[in-house]
Amino acid sequence: MKKIELLAPAKNLEAGIAAINYGADAIYIGAPKFGARAAAGNTLKDIKELIQYAHQYWAKVYITINTILYDQELNEAEQLIHQLYDIGADALIVQDMGILEMNLPPIELHASTQTHNYDLDRIKFLEQVGFKRIILARELSLEQIKEIRKNTSVELEYFIHGALCVSLSGQCYFSQALGGRSANRGECSQACRMKYDLVDEEGKVIAKDKYLLSLKDLNLSGHLQEIMESGICSLKIEGRLKDSTYLKNVTSYYRQAIDQIIDQNPNFEKSSSGVINPSFQPDLERTFNRGYTDYFFTGRIPEIANFHTPKSIGKEIGRIIDIRKDHFLIETQYELHNGDGLCFFNKNNLLKGILVNGVQGNKIFPNEMNMLQRNAILYRNNDHEFAKELNRDQTRRKIAIDFYLESKDDAITLIATDENGISASVQHLEQVKSAKNKEMAISNLKKQLGKTGDSIYQVNSIDLNYAQAPFLPAKLLNDLRRKCLQLLTTSRIDSHKTPTSRLLIAHPKYPGKNLSYMGNVVNCKAEEFYHKCGVEKIEKGFELQKDYSGKTIMTTKHCLRHEFGRCPKEISTQEQDNKQLYLVDNKKRYKLEFNCQRCEMKIILE
Residue 349: phi and psi, rounded to 5, are: 60, 30
Q: Which of 13, 32, 85 lies closest to 498 in space, CA to CA?
A: 85
pTM, two decimals, is: 0.95
* Residues 288 and 242: beta-carbon distance below 8 Å: yes
Alpha carbon distances (Å) from 446 to 402, 425, 439: 12, 17, 11
Alpha carbon distances (Å) from 372 to 76, 290, 331: 56, 21, 15
What one-character DSSP code corresponds to residue 414?
E
CA–CA separation, 282 vs 270, rounded Å? 20
Which CB contacts under 8 angstroms, 24+ apart, belong to 508-517? 508/125, 508/128, 508/129, 508/533, 509/533, 509/534, 510/125, 510/534, 510/535, 511/121, 511/122, 511/125, 513/537, 514/538, 514/539, 515/539, 517/541, 517/542, 517/545, 517/551
Residue 478 pairs in a beta bridge with: none
CA–CA separation, 175 vs 358, rounded Å? 43
CA–CA separation, 284 vs 168, rounded Å? 25
Q: Which of 141, 301, 148 lies closest to 133 in space, CA to CA?
A: 148
* Residues 339 and 356: beta-carbon distance below 8 Å: yes
Q: Which of 293, 233, 282, 280 lies closest to 6 in space, CA to CA?
A: 233
**Cα dihedral value 278, 281, 285, 287, nearest 10:** -40
Domains contained in the chain, CATH given = 2-164+216-279 (3.20.20.60), 313-392 (2.40.30), 399-491 (3.30.420)
Q: Strand, helix or coil at 443?
A: helix
Which residues of the chain carry a pLDDT beneath 50?
none
Within 13 Å, how many C-alpha atoms sit on residue 19's CB side? 33
Res 574: pLDDT: 64
CA–CA separation, 492 vs 273, rounded Å? 10
Q: Strand, helix or coil at 437?
A: coil
What is the share, in percent, of the chain residues with pLDDT greater than 90?
84
One DSSP character per residue, 260-326 reads HHHHH-TTEEESS--B---SS---GGGSS-S-EE-TTBTB--S--B-TT-SS---EEEEEEEEE-SS
CA–CA separation, 128 vs 215, rounded Å? 34
CA–CA separation, 300 vs 562, rounded Å? 10
Which residues, in sequence order, are CB contacts of 499 under 8 Å at separation 6+? none
Strands, E, within 155-204: which ranges? 155-162, 196-200
What one-character DSSP code corresponds to residue 499?
P
Res 1: pLDDT: 86
Residue 28 pairs in a beta bridge with: 9, 62
Amino acid at 56: Q
